[in-house]
Structure 1
Amino acid sequence: MWARDTLPPVMIAFLVLNTTAVGLRVYVRSLMSKAFSYDDWAMLVAFSGFVVLCITTFISITNGYGAEDFGLNPSYDEIMAVKFFVISTLEYVIIVFIAKVSVALVLYRIAATNKPIRRLLEVSVGCMAVWTLATSTIVGLQCRPLSFAWGEGTGTCMNPKILGNTGFSISAMDIISSFLYASLPVFLLRGVQLSLKMKISVIILLGLGVLSSVATVVRLKCLVDVANLKSAVGPEAMNAYLTTFVYSITELGITIFTASVAALRPLIKMIKWGRTEVSGYGISSNKKSQRSRPHMGPPIRLDNVHSKASTSEEYIIPKEGAAKNTHAMVTCTEV
Protein backbone atom coordinates (compact mmCIF):
# COMPACT_ATOMS: atom_id res chain seq x y z
CA MET A 1 0.00 0.00 0.00
CA TRP A 2 1.78 3.10 -1.28
CA ALA A 3 -0.08 5.48 1.05
CA ARG A 4 1.09 3.66 4.17
CA ASP A 5 4.70 3.74 2.91
CA THR A 6 4.52 7.36 1.72
CA LEU A 7 2.89 8.95 4.76
CA PRO A 8 5.80 8.61 7.26
CA PRO A 9 8.43 10.31 4.99
CA VAL A 10 5.96 13.11 4.22
CA MET A 11 5.32 13.72 7.92
CA ILE A 12 9.03 13.66 8.76
CA ALA A 13 9.82 16.12 5.95
CA PHE A 14 7.20 18.63 7.08
CA LEU A 15 8.13 18.20 10.75
CA VAL A 16 11.72 19.19 9.95
CA LEU A 17 10.68 21.98 7.57
CA ASN A 18 8.07 23.49 9.86
CA THR A 19 10.18 23.16 13.00
CA THR A 20 12.80 25.29 11.24
CA ALA A 21 10.28 27.79 9.85
CA VAL A 22 8.32 28.22 13.08
CA GLY A 23 11.55 28.43 15.10
CA LEU A 24 12.82 31.23 12.84
CA ARG A 25 9.46 32.97 13.11
CA VAL A 26 9.58 32.91 16.91
CA TYR A 27 13.16 34.22 16.82
CA VAL A 28 12.32 37.07 14.44
CA ARG A 29 9.07 38.10 16.11
CA SER A 30 10.30 37.88 19.70
CA LEU A 31 13.96 38.96 19.49
CA MET A 32 14.46 40.90 16.24
CA SER A 33 11.12 42.67 15.83
CA LYS A 34 10.06 42.41 19.49
CA ALA A 35 6.47 42.24 18.28
CA PHE A 36 5.33 38.76 19.28
CA SER A 37 1.54 38.91 18.99
CA TYR A 38 -1.72 36.92 18.77
CA ASP A 39 -1.03 35.57 15.28
CA ASP A 40 2.28 34.12 16.49
CA TRP A 41 0.55 32.39 19.40
CA ALA A 42 -2.01 30.93 16.98
CA MET A 43 0.79 29.61 14.80
CA LEU A 44 2.49 27.98 17.79
CA VAL A 45 -0.81 26.27 18.69
CA ALA A 46 -1.26 25.09 15.08
CA PHE A 47 2.31 23.79 14.90
CA SER A 48 1.98 22.01 18.26
CA GLY A 49 -1.23 20.41 17.02
CA PHE A 50 0.54 19.36 13.81
CA VAL A 51 3.27 17.66 15.87
CA VAL A 52 0.64 15.81 17.95
CA LEU A 53 -1.18 14.84 14.74
CA CYS A 54 1.98 13.31 13.29
CA ILE A 55 2.71 11.45 16.54
CA THR A 56 -0.75 9.86 16.73
CA THR A 57 -0.58 8.95 13.03
CA PHE A 58 2.85 7.35 13.55
CA ILE A 59 1.42 5.31 16.45
CA SER A 60 -1.45 4.14 14.25
CA ILE A 61 0.84 3.08 11.40
CA THR A 62 3.33 1.43 13.76
CA ASN A 63 0.51 -0.71 15.13
CA GLY A 64 -0.33 -1.92 11.63
CA TYR A 65 -3.02 0.43 10.31
CA GLY A 66 -3.25 -0.07 6.55
CA ALA A 67 -0.87 -3.06 6.48
CA GLU A 68 -1.70 -5.88 4.10
CA ASP A 69 -1.51 -8.42 6.92
CA PHE A 70 -3.48 -6.26 9.32
CA GLY A 71 -5.53 -8.59 11.50
CA LEU A 72 -3.26 -11.53 10.69
CA ASN A 73 0.05 -10.38 12.15
CA PRO A 74 0.04 -10.93 15.94
CA SER A 75 2.62 -8.16 16.44
CA TYR A 76 0.02 -5.55 15.42
CA ASP A 77 -2.43 -4.08 17.92
CA GLU A 78 -5.60 -3.63 15.87
CA ILE A 79 -7.49 -1.63 18.47
CA MET A 80 -4.60 0.79 19.03
CA ALA A 81 -4.09 1.22 15.29
CA VAL A 82 -7.71 2.12 14.51
CA LYS A 83 -8.18 4.15 17.71
CA PHE A 84 -5.23 6.44 17.03
CA PHE A 85 -6.18 6.90 13.39
CA VAL A 86 -9.67 8.02 14.42
CA ILE A 87 -8.05 10.41 16.90
CA SER A 88 -5.79 11.70 14.10
CA THR A 89 -8.82 12.35 11.90
CA LEU A 90 -10.48 14.44 14.62
CA GLU A 91 -7.23 16.29 15.25
CA TYR A 92 -6.84 17.09 11.57
CA VAL A 93 -10.26 18.74 11.33
CA ILE A 94 -9.48 21.00 14.30
CA ILE A 95 -5.85 21.75 13.40
CA VAL A 96 -6.77 22.78 9.84
CA PHE A 97 -9.08 25.40 11.34
CA ILE A 98 -6.38 26.69 13.72
CA ALA A 99 -3.81 26.85 10.89
CA LYS A 100 -6.21 28.80 8.69
CA VAL A 101 -6.96 31.17 11.58
CA SER A 102 -3.22 31.77 12.06
CA VAL A 103 -2.92 32.74 8.37
CA ALA A 104 -5.96 35.02 8.69
CA LEU A 105 -4.44 36.70 11.75
CA VAL A 106 -1.21 37.42 9.85
CA LEU A 107 -3.25 39.18 7.16
CA TYR A 108 -5.38 40.86 9.86
CA ARG A 109 -2.27 42.39 11.38
CA ILE A 110 -0.97 43.55 7.99
CA ALA A 111 -4.35 45.12 7.13
CA ALA A 112 -4.27 47.38 10.20
CA THR A 113 -5.63 50.39 8.27
CA ASN A 114 -7.82 48.51 5.79
CA LYS A 115 -11.19 48.05 7.50
CA PRO A 116 -13.00 46.29 4.57
CA ILE A 117 -10.37 43.56 4.40
CA ARG A 118 -10.42 43.22 8.19
CA ARG A 119 -14.21 42.75 8.14
CA LEU A 120 -13.80 40.14 5.38
CA LEU A 121 -11.24 38.25 7.45
CA GLU A 122 -13.51 38.33 10.51
CA VAL A 123 -16.42 36.93 8.51
CA SER A 124 -14.24 34.21 6.98
CA VAL A 125 -12.98 33.09 10.40
CA GLY A 126 -16.54 33.01 11.74
CA CYS A 127 -17.71 30.86 8.82
CA MET A 128 -14.78 28.47 9.27
CA ALA A 129 -15.58 28.16 12.99
CA VAL A 130 -19.17 27.09 12.26
CA TRP A 131 -17.97 24.79 9.48
CA THR A 132 -15.36 23.16 11.73
CA LEU A 133 -17.85 22.64 14.57
CA ALA A 134 -20.28 20.85 12.23
CA THR A 135 -17.68 18.64 10.53
CA SER A 136 -15.88 17.69 13.76
CA THR A 137 -19.23 16.70 15.27
CA ILE A 138 -19.96 14.40 12.32
CA VAL A 139 -16.49 12.84 12.49
CA GLY A 140 -16.80 12.39 16.25
CA LEU A 141 -20.19 10.70 15.88
CA GLN A 142 -19.25 8.51 12.92
CA CYS A 143 -19.87 5.51 15.15
CA ARG A 144 -22.15 5.24 18.16
CA PRO A 145 -20.43 4.67 20.51
CA LEU A 146 -17.19 5.98 19.02
CA SER A 147 -15.27 3.05 20.51
CA PHE A 148 -17.10 0.80 18.06
CA ALA A 149 -15.01 2.43 15.31
CA TRP A 150 -11.93 0.62 16.62
CA GLY A 151 -13.71 -2.62 17.44
CA GLU A 152 -14.64 -2.26 21.07
CA GLY A 153 -18.17 -3.25 22.01
CA THR A 154 -21.17 -3.13 19.70
CA GLY A 155 -22.85 -0.29 17.89
CA THR A 156 -23.48 1.26 14.49
CA CYS A 157 -21.48 3.47 12.13
CA MET A 158 -22.54 6.07 9.60
CA ASN A 159 -22.76 5.36 5.91
CA PRO A 160 -19.35 5.99 4.25
CA LYS A 161 -21.07 8.47 1.90
CA ILE A 162 -21.77 10.74 4.86
CA LEU A 163 -18.09 10.70 5.84
CA GLY A 164 -17.14 11.28 2.21
CA ASN A 165 -19.47 14.28 1.98
CA THR A 166 -18.01 15.58 5.22
CA GLY A 167 -14.58 15.34 3.64
CA PHE A 168 -15.86 17.29 0.63
CA SER A 169 -17.12 19.95 3.03
CA ILE A 170 -13.72 20.25 4.73
CA SER A 171 -11.98 20.41 1.34
CA ALA A 172 -14.34 23.13 0.16
CA MET A 173 -13.47 25.20 3.24
CA ASP A 174 -9.76 24.62 2.61
CA ILE A 175 -9.92 25.60 -1.05
CA ILE A 176 -12.04 28.73 -0.54
CA SER A 177 -9.99 29.99 2.40
CA SER A 178 -6.64 29.17 0.76
CA PHE A 179 -7.41 31.04 -2.45
CA LEU A 180 -8.95 33.92 -0.47
CA TYR A 181 -5.92 34.33 1.78
CA ALA A 182 -3.50 33.87 -1.13
CA SER A 183 -5.17 36.66 -3.12
CA LEU A 184 -5.67 39.21 -0.33
CA PRO A 185 -1.99 40.33 -0.26
CA VAL A 186 -2.44 41.56 -3.83
CA PHE A 187 -4.99 44.10 -2.59
CA LEU A 188 -3.05 44.88 0.58
CA LEU A 189 0.16 45.65 -1.31
CA ARG A 190 -1.42 47.40 -4.29
CA GLY A 191 0.23 50.76 -4.80
CA VAL A 192 2.92 50.05 -2.21
CA GLN A 193 6.49 50.63 -3.39
CA LEU A 194 8.57 47.50 -2.76
CA SER A 195 12.15 46.62 -3.56
CA LEU A 196 12.89 43.77 -5.93
CA LYS A 197 13.75 41.33 -3.15
CA MET A 198 10.49 42.04 -1.33
CA LYS A 199 8.49 41.57 -4.55
CA ILE A 200 10.19 38.20 -5.06
CA SER A 201 9.37 37.17 -1.49
CA VAL A 202 5.71 38.12 -1.96
CA ILE A 203 5.55 36.10 -5.19
CA ILE A 204 7.00 33.07 -3.41
CA LEU A 205 4.51 33.36 -0.56
CA LEU A 206 1.57 33.67 -2.95
CA GLY A 207 2.80 30.66 -4.90
CA LEU A 208 3.04 28.55 -1.75
CA GLY A 209 -0.48 29.56 -0.73
CA VAL A 210 -1.84 28.38 -4.07
CA LEU A 211 0.25 25.20 -3.82
CA SER A 212 -1.51 24.21 -0.59
CA SER A 213 -4.82 24.63 -2.42
CA VAL A 214 -3.59 22.36 -5.21
CA ALA A 215 -2.93 19.61 -2.64
CA THR A 216 -6.49 20.04 -1.39
CA VAL A 217 -7.92 19.80 -4.91
CA VAL A 218 -5.97 16.59 -5.56
CA ARG A 219 -7.38 15.16 -2.34
CA LEU A 220 -10.89 15.50 -3.74
CA LYS A 221 -10.31 12.50 -5.99
CA CYS A 222 -9.42 10.42 -2.92
CA LEU A 223 -12.57 11.60 -1.18
CA VAL A 224 -14.62 10.31 -4.11
CA ASP A 225 -13.14 6.87 -3.42
CA VAL A 226 -14.07 7.20 0.26
CA ALA A 227 -17.65 8.13 -0.63
CA ASN A 228 -17.92 5.05 -2.86
CA LEU A 229 -16.78 2.62 -0.16
CA LYS A 230 -19.20 -0.18 0.66
CA SER A 231 -18.06 -0.24 4.28
CA ALA A 232 -16.42 2.28 6.61
CA VAL A 233 -14.11 -0.41 7.98
CA GLY A 234 -11.80 -3.00 6.44
CA PRO A 235 -8.55 -3.01 4.38
CA GLU A 236 -10.08 -1.13 1.43
CA ALA A 237 -11.38 1.61 3.71
CA MET A 238 -8.04 1.92 5.54
CA ASN A 239 -6.15 2.32 2.27
CA ALA A 240 -8.59 5.00 1.08
CA TYR A 241 -8.30 6.90 4.38
CA LEU A 242 -4.49 6.76 4.34
CA THR A 243 -4.36 7.97 0.73
CA THR A 244 -6.51 10.95 1.70
CA PHE A 245 -4.28 11.57 4.70
CA VAL A 246 -1.14 11.88 2.54
CA TYR A 247 -2.60 14.95 0.83
CA SER A 248 -4.13 16.21 4.07
CA ILE A 249 -0.75 16.26 5.81
CA THR A 250 0.82 17.90 2.75
CA GLU A 251 -1.79 20.66 2.64
CA LEU A 252 -1.55 21.32 6.37
CA GLY A 253 2.25 21.30 6.32
CA ILE A 254 2.42 23.81 3.46
CA THR A 255 -0.12 26.06 5.21
CA ILE A 256 1.97 26.21 8.41
CA PHE A 257 5.19 26.74 6.45
CA THR A 258 3.70 29.55 4.35
CA ALA A 259 2.30 31.40 7.36
CA SER A 260 5.64 31.09 9.18
CA VAL A 261 7.78 32.32 6.28
CA ALA A 262 5.50 35.34 5.90
CA ALA A 263 6.87 36.68 9.20
CA LEU A 264 10.54 36.42 8.20
CA ARG A 265 10.79 39.77 6.42
CA PRO A 266 13.55 41.11 8.73
CA LEU A 267 15.70 38.11 7.80
CA ILE A 268 14.92 38.54 4.09
CA LYS A 269 16.00 42.19 4.30
CA MET A 270 19.39 41.08 5.61
CA ILE A 271 20.10 39.01 2.47
CA LYS A 272 22.54 40.73 0.11
CA TRP A 273 21.08 40.95 -3.38
CA GLY A 274 23.13 41.78 -6.48
CA ARG A 275 26.66 43.24 -6.41
CA THR A 276 28.11 46.70 -6.39
CA GLU A 277 30.44 47.85 -9.17
CA VAL A 278 32.74 50.90 -9.16
CA SER A 279 32.91 52.99 -12.32
CA GLY A 280 34.85 56.11 -13.21
CA TYR A 281 32.01 58.39 -12.16
CA GLY A 282 30.70 56.74 -8.98
CA ILE A 283 29.28 53.54 -7.55
CA SER A 284 26.62 51.67 -9.45
CA SER A 285 24.99 48.23 -9.29
CA ASN A 286 24.79 47.91 -13.10
CA LYS A 287 26.23 49.30 -16.31
CA LYS A 288 23.23 51.39 -17.28
CA SER A 289 24.58 54.45 -15.47
CA GLN A 290 27.81 54.16 -17.45
CA ARG A 291 25.96 54.17 -20.77
CA SER A 292 23.85 57.20 -19.78
CA ARG A 293 26.80 59.62 -20.22
CA PRO A 294 28.76 58.55 -23.31
CA HIS A 295 30.12 62.07 -23.89
CA MET A 296 32.13 62.00 -20.68
CA GLY A 297 34.90 59.88 -22.20
CA PRO A 298 36.44 56.63 -21.01
CA PRO A 299 36.80 55.91 -17.30
CA ILE A 300 40.25 55.97 -15.72
CA ARG A 301 41.78 54.78 -12.48
CA LEU A 302 41.97 57.51 -9.88
CA ASP A 303 45.67 56.91 -9.33
CA ASN A 304 46.31 57.78 -13.02
CA VAL A 305 45.05 61.37 -12.79
CA HIS A 306 48.12 62.43 -10.88
CA SER A 307 50.57 61.39 -13.62
CA LYS A 308 52.59 64.15 -15.33
CA ALA A 309 51.50 63.04 -18.80
CA SER A 310 47.87 63.90 -18.22
CA THR A 311 45.64 66.06 -16.11
CA SER A 312 42.37 65.26 -14.44
CA GLU A 313 40.55 67.85 -16.57
CA GLU A 314 41.05 65.69 -19.65
CA TYR A 315 38.74 63.06 -18.25
CA ILE A 316 36.03 65.04 -16.49
CA ILE A 317 35.29 67.75 -19.08
CA PRO A 318 33.33 66.84 -22.27
CA LYS A 319 35.58 66.68 -25.31
CA GLU A 320 33.04 68.59 -27.43
CA GLY A 321 34.00 71.78 -25.59
CA ALA A 322 32.51 73.42 -22.54
CA ALA A 323 33.37 75.82 -19.80
CA LYS A 324 35.68 74.30 -17.24
CA ASN A 325 33.52 73.02 -14.42
CA THR A 326 34.58 70.13 -12.24
CA HIS A 327 31.66 68.15 -10.85
CA ALA A 328 31.78 64.83 -9.04
CA MET A 329 28.76 62.68 -8.28
CA VAL A 330 28.60 59.52 -6.21
CA THR A 331 25.43 57.45 -6.41
CA CYS A 332 24.48 54.20 -4.79
CA THR A 333 21.55 52.25 -6.19
CA GLU A 334 20.00 49.35 -4.28
CA VAL A 335 18.25 46.76 -6.42
Structure 2
Amino acid sequence: MSEEDVTTDVGAIVVVLAAIAVGLRFYSRYFTKAGFKWDDWLVLVALVATILTDVLVLYATSVNPDGAEVASNTDPNYQYTPADVEFTKLSYIGTVLYFTITSATKVSILLMYNRLFSVDISFRRQVIIVAVAVAGFWIGCTVADLLNCIPLEWTWNNALDDPRYCFNYNIFWLTSGIVEACLDIVIIIMPVRVVIGLNLNKSKKLAVAGVFLLGVL
Protein backbone atom coordinates (compact mmCIF):
# COMPACT_ATOMS: atom_id res chain seq x y z
CA MET A 1 0.00 0.00 0.00
CA SER A 2 1.41 3.39 -1.02
CA GLU A 3 1.84 6.36 1.30
CA GLU A 4 -0.97 8.17 -0.52
CA ASP A 5 -3.33 5.21 0.05
CA VAL A 6 -2.49 5.13 3.76
CA THR A 7 -3.12 8.87 4.05
CA THR A 8 -6.44 8.52 2.23
CA ASP A 9 -7.57 5.61 4.41
CA VAL A 10 -6.62 7.37 7.63
CA GLY A 11 -8.39 10.53 6.49
CA ALA A 12 -11.53 8.56 5.66
CA ILE A 13 -11.51 6.86 9.08
CA VAL A 14 -11.11 10.20 10.86
CA VAL A 15 -14.02 11.71 8.91
CA VAL A 16 -16.25 8.70 9.68
CA LEU A 17 -15.40 8.92 13.40
CA ALA A 18 -16.05 12.67 13.37
CA ALA A 19 -19.42 12.14 11.66
CA ILE A 20 -20.38 9.52 14.25
CA ALA A 21 -19.34 11.80 17.11
CA VAL A 22 -21.31 14.76 15.74
CA GLY A 23 -24.31 12.52 15.04
CA LEU A 24 -24.28 11.21 18.62
CA ARG A 25 -23.96 14.76 19.90
CA PHE A 26 -27.06 15.90 18.01
CA TYR A 27 -28.93 12.75 19.00
CA SER A 28 -28.17 13.29 22.70
CA ARG A 29 -29.21 16.94 22.51
CA TYR A 30 -32.46 15.96 20.82
CA PHE A 31 -33.13 12.97 23.12
CA THR A 32 -32.59 15.02 26.28
CA LYS A 33 -34.63 17.91 24.83
CA ALA A 34 -31.71 20.22 25.61
CA GLY A 35 -32.11 22.02 22.29
CA PHE A 36 -29.46 22.85 19.74
CA LYS A 37 -27.08 25.70 20.47
CA TRP A 38 -24.62 27.68 18.37
CA ASP A 39 -21.75 25.41 19.39
CA ASP A 40 -23.66 22.43 17.94
CA TRP A 41 -24.28 24.15 14.62
CA LEU A 42 -20.65 25.29 14.33
CA VAL A 43 -19.44 21.72 14.84
CA LEU A 44 -21.82 20.69 12.06
CA VAL A 45 -20.37 23.41 9.80
CA ALA A 46 -16.86 22.11 10.52
CA LEU A 47 -17.93 18.53 9.74
CA VAL A 48 -19.58 19.48 6.44
CA ALA A 49 -16.50 21.49 5.43
CA THR A 50 -14.28 18.52 6.34
CA ILE A 51 -16.33 16.11 4.25
CA LEU A 52 -16.36 18.53 1.33
CA THR A 53 -12.57 18.96 1.57
CA ASP A 54 -12.01 15.20 1.59
CA VAL A 55 -14.26 14.78 -1.43
CA LEU A 56 -12.36 17.50 -3.30
CA VAL A 57 -9.00 15.92 -2.46
CA LEU A 58 -10.14 12.45 -3.50
CA TYR A 59 -11.58 13.75 -6.76
CA ALA A 60 -8.45 15.80 -7.46
CA THR A 61 -6.29 12.72 -6.91
CA SER A 62 -8.47 10.66 -9.24
CA VAL A 63 -8.14 13.36 -11.92
CA ASN A 64 -4.37 13.57 -11.54
CA PRO A 65 -2.65 10.93 -9.35
CA ASP A 66 0.64 12.83 -9.71
CA GLY A 67 -0.89 16.18 -8.83
CA ALA A 68 0.76 16.46 -5.41
CA GLU A 69 4.23 16.10 -6.94
CA VAL A 70 3.42 18.59 -9.68
CA ALA A 71 2.12 21.12 -7.15
CA SER A 72 5.51 21.11 -5.41
CA ASN A 73 7.48 21.19 -8.66
CA THR A 74 10.30 23.75 -8.64
CA ASP A 75 11.14 23.69 -12.33
CA PRO A 76 10.37 27.20 -13.66
CA ASN A 77 10.10 25.81 -17.18
CA TYR A 78 7.48 23.21 -16.36
CA GLN A 79 4.18 23.79 -18.13
CA TYR A 80 1.05 22.76 -16.30
CA THR A 81 -1.26 20.34 -18.12
CA PRO A 82 -5.06 20.73 -17.92
CA ALA A 83 -5.08 17.89 -15.36
CA ASP A 84 -2.43 19.70 -13.31
CA VAL A 85 -4.48 22.88 -13.35
CA GLU A 86 -7.65 21.09 -12.25
CA PHE A 87 -5.80 19.34 -9.41
CA THR A 88 -4.30 22.62 -8.19
CA LYS A 89 -7.66 24.40 -8.35
CA LEU A 90 -9.39 21.71 -6.29
CA SER A 91 -6.53 21.58 -3.78
CA TYR A 92 -6.62 25.35 -3.49
CA ILE A 93 -10.33 25.26 -2.59
CA GLY A 94 -9.45 22.71 0.07
CA THR A 95 -6.88 25.06 1.63
CA VAL A 96 -9.49 27.82 1.84
CA LEU A 97 -11.95 25.45 3.55
CA TYR A 98 -9.27 24.38 6.02
CA PHE A 99 -9.55 27.62 7.98
CA THR A 100 -13.31 27.22 8.24
CA ILE A 101 -12.87 23.69 9.61
CA THR A 102 -10.37 24.62 12.31
CA SER A 103 -11.84 27.98 13.28
CA ALA A 104 -15.46 26.81 13.45
CA THR A 105 -14.32 23.99 15.72
CA LYS A 106 -12.42 26.39 17.99
CA VAL A 107 -15.35 28.81 18.29
CA SER A 108 -17.68 25.86 18.99
CA ILE A 109 -15.47 24.77 21.89
CA LEU A 110 -15.39 28.31 23.26
CA LEU A 111 -19.18 28.58 23.11
CA MET A 112 -19.44 25.26 24.92
CA TYR A 113 -17.12 26.63 27.62
CA ASN A 114 -19.40 29.65 27.87
CA ARG A 115 -22.40 27.41 28.54
CA LEU A 116 -20.61 25.20 31.06
CA PHE A 117 -18.99 28.02 33.03
CA SER A 118 -21.51 30.82 32.51
CA VAL A 119 -21.50 31.76 36.20
CA ASP A 120 -17.84 32.81 36.07
CA ILE A 121 -17.90 36.38 34.72
CA SER A 122 -14.13 36.69 34.30
CA PHE A 123 -14.00 33.39 32.41
CA ARG A 124 -16.77 34.54 30.08
CA ARG A 125 -14.73 37.64 29.30
CA GLN A 126 -11.77 35.42 28.47
CA VAL A 127 -14.01 33.37 26.17
CA ILE A 128 -15.10 36.52 24.33
CA ILE A 129 -11.50 37.73 23.92
CA VAL A 130 -10.26 34.38 22.59
CA ALA A 131 -13.33 34.01 20.35
CA VAL A 132 -12.60 37.41 18.79
CA ALA A 133 -8.98 36.33 18.26
CA VAL A 134 -10.14 33.11 16.57
CA ALA A 135 -12.59 35.04 14.38
CA GLY A 136 -9.77 37.39 13.37
CA PHE A 137 -7.56 34.41 12.55
CA TRP A 138 -10.40 32.84 10.54
CA ILE A 139 -11.14 35.95 8.49
CA GLY A 140 -7.53 37.05 8.10
CA CYS A 141 -6.19 33.69 6.93
CA THR A 142 -9.15 33.07 4.61
CA VAL A 143 -8.77 36.48 2.94
CA ALA A 144 -4.99 36.07 2.70
CA ASP A 145 -5.43 32.64 1.10
CA LEU A 146 -7.94 34.03 -1.39
CA LEU A 147 -5.52 36.83 -2.31
CA ASN A 148 -2.32 34.77 -2.28
CA CYS A 149 -1.82 35.51 -5.98
CA ILE A 150 -3.01 38.50 -7.99
CA PRO A 151 -4.44 37.69 -10.44
CA LEU A 152 -5.66 34.51 -8.73
CA GLU A 153 -5.07 32.34 -11.81
CA TRP A 154 -1.35 32.42 -11.05
CA THR A 155 -2.14 30.03 -8.21
CA TRP A 156 -2.63 27.24 -10.73
CA ASN A 157 -0.77 28.55 -13.80
CA ASN A 158 2.76 28.80 -12.46
CA ALA A 159 4.95 26.05 -11.00
CA LEU A 160 6.71 28.57 -8.80
CA ASP A 161 5.33 31.32 -6.58
CA ASP A 162 6.45 34.24 -8.69
CA PRO A 163 7.11 37.12 -6.24
CA ARG A 164 5.71 39.54 -8.81
CA TYR A 165 2.27 37.96 -8.41
CA CYS A 166 2.22 35.66 -5.33
CA PHE A 167 3.40 35.94 -1.74
CA ASN A 168 5.52 33.21 -0.16
CA TYR A 169 3.04 30.43 0.55
CA ASN A 170 5.47 28.51 2.78
CA ILE A 171 5.90 31.47 5.12
CA PHE A 172 2.12 31.99 5.15
CA TRP A 173 1.43 28.40 6.24
CA LEU A 174 4.25 28.43 8.80
CA THR A 175 2.99 31.66 10.36
CA SER A 176 -0.66 30.63 10.37
CA GLY A 177 0.33 27.27 11.86
CA ILE A 178 2.21 28.92 14.73
CA VAL A 179 -0.72 31.26 15.48
CA GLU A 180 -3.17 28.36 15.32
CA ALA A 181 -1.04 26.26 17.69
CA CYS A 182 -0.95 29.15 20.19
CA LEU A 183 -4.74 29.50 20.01
CA ASP A 184 -5.15 25.75 20.54
CA ILE A 185 -2.94 25.80 23.65
CA VAL A 186 -4.88 28.73 25.12
CA ILE A 187 -8.24 27.05 24.44
CA ILE A 188 -7.07 23.76 25.95
CA ILE A 189 -5.80 25.26 29.21
CA MET A 190 -8.60 27.82 29.68
CA PRO A 191 -10.97 25.61 31.73
CA VAL A 192 -8.21 24.27 33.99
CA ARG A 193 -8.21 27.40 36.16
CA VAL A 194 -11.98 27.18 36.60
CA VAL A 195 -11.82 23.48 37.47
CA ILE A 196 -9.15 24.15 40.10
CA GLY A 197 -11.53 26.61 41.75
CA LEU A 198 -14.39 24.10 41.97
CA ASN A 199 -15.49 22.79 45.36
CA LEU A 200 -14.20 19.26 44.71
CA ASN A 201 -11.53 17.07 46.22
CA LYS A 202 -8.16 16.84 44.50
CA SER A 203 -8.80 13.57 42.70
CA LYS A 204 -12.08 14.79 41.22
CA LYS A 205 -10.48 18.05 40.11
CA LEU A 206 -7.75 16.10 38.36
CA ALA A 207 -10.34 13.88 36.69
CA VAL A 208 -12.40 16.83 35.42
CA ALA A 209 -9.30 18.70 34.27
CA GLY A 210 -8.11 15.52 32.52
CA VAL A 211 -11.32 15.41 30.49
CA PHE A 212 -10.68 18.89 29.12
CA LEU A 213 -6.97 18.23 28.60
CA LEU A 214 -7.86 15.28 26.37
CA GLY A 215 -8.04 17.96 23.70
CA VAL A 216 -4.24 17.77 23.59
CA LEU A 217 -4.62 14.43 21.81
* Aligned-partner Cα distance in 2 for 1:41–1:66: 33
The counterpart of 1:158, out of the listed 155, 158, 166, is 166
* Structure 2 stretches lacking a partner, 5+ long: none
The structural deviation recorded for 1:96 is 1.4
The counterpart of 1:114, out of the listed 111, 120, 143, is 120
Amino acid at match of 2:104: I
The structural deviation recorded for 1:116 is 0.9
What is the TM-score normalised by the length of structure 2? 0.80
% identity of equivalent residues: 21
User: Root-mean-square deviation (CA), in Å?
Assistant: 3.0
Q: Are 1:193 and 2:200 an aligned pair?
A: yes
Which has the higher mean CA deviation after the structures are superposed, 106-115 or 184-193?
Answer: 184-193
- The Cα offsets for residues 34-81 of structure 1, whole Å up to 9 and x where unpaired, read as 23211111111111111111111212222222257x999x9x822221
Q: Are 1:44 and 2:44 an aligned pair?
A: yes
* Aligned-partner Cα distance in 2 for 1:185–1:158: 41
Q: Are 1:89 and 2:95 an aligned pair?
A: yes
Partner of residue 149, structure 2: 143
Retained in 2: the 8 A contact 1:111–1:117? yes
Partner of residue 22, structure 1: 22
Partner of residue 56, structure 2: 56
Amino acid at match of 2:179: M
Residues 67, 171 of structure 1: CA spacing in aligned structure 2 closer, same or farther, 3 A cutoff?
closer
The counterpart of 2:213, out of the listed 206, 209, 217, is 206
Q: Are 1:172 and 2:165 an aligned pair?
A: no
Residues 29, 42 of structure 1: CA spacing in aligned structure 2 closer, same or farther, 3 A cutoff?
same
Residues 197, 81 of structure 1: CA spacing in aligned structure 2 closer, same or farther, 3 A cutoff?
farther
Partner of residue 218, structure 1: none
The structural deviation recorded for 1:206 is 1.2
- The Cα offsets for residues 147-179 of structure 1, whole Å up to 9 and x where unpaired, read as 232229xx95424xx322221232123212211
- The Cα offsets for residues 260-280 of structure 1, whole Å up to 9 and x where unpaired, read as xxxxxxxxxxxxxxxxxxxxx
The structural deviation recorded for 1:93 is 1.8
Q: Are 1:78 and 2:84 an aligned pair?
A: yes
- The Cα offsets for residues 248-298 of structure 1, whole Å up to 9 and x where unpaired, read as xxxxxxxxxxxxxxxxxxxxxxxxxxxxxxxxxxxxxxxxxxxxxxxxxxx
* Structure 1 stretches lacking a partner, 5+ long: 212-335
The counterpart of 1:124, out of the listed 115, 120, 130, is 130
Retained in 2: the 8 A contact 1:62–1:81? no
Q: What's the secondary structure of 1:104's corresponding residue?
A: helix
Of Structure 1 and Structure 2, the greater helix share is in 2
What is the TM-score normalised by the length of structure 1? 0.53
- How do 1:265-280 and structure 2 match up within 5 A? none
Retained in 1: the 8 A contact 2:192–2:209? no
Retained in 1: the 8 A contact 2:195–2:205? no
User: Which is higher, the Rg of structure 1 or of structure 2?
Assistant: 1
Retained in 2: the 8 A contact 1:90–1:136? yes
Q: What's the secondary structure of 2:34's corresponding residue?
A: coil
Partner of residue 316, structure 1: none
Residues 114, 205 of structure 1: CA spacing in aligned structure 2 closer, same or farther, 3 A cutoff?
closer
* Aligned-partner Cα distance in 1 for 2:115–2:39: 8
Query: How many residues are treated as equivalent by the alignment?
Result: 202
The structural deviation recorded for 1:202 is 5.1
Amino acid at match of 1:158: C
* Aligned-partner Cα distance in 1 for 2:142–2:3: 24
- How do 1:245-324 and structure 2 match up within 5 A? none
Q: What's the secondary structure of 1:89's corresponding residue?
A: helix
- How do 1:214-225 and structure 2 match up within 5 A? none
* Aligned-partner Cα distance in 2 for 1:198–1:27: 29
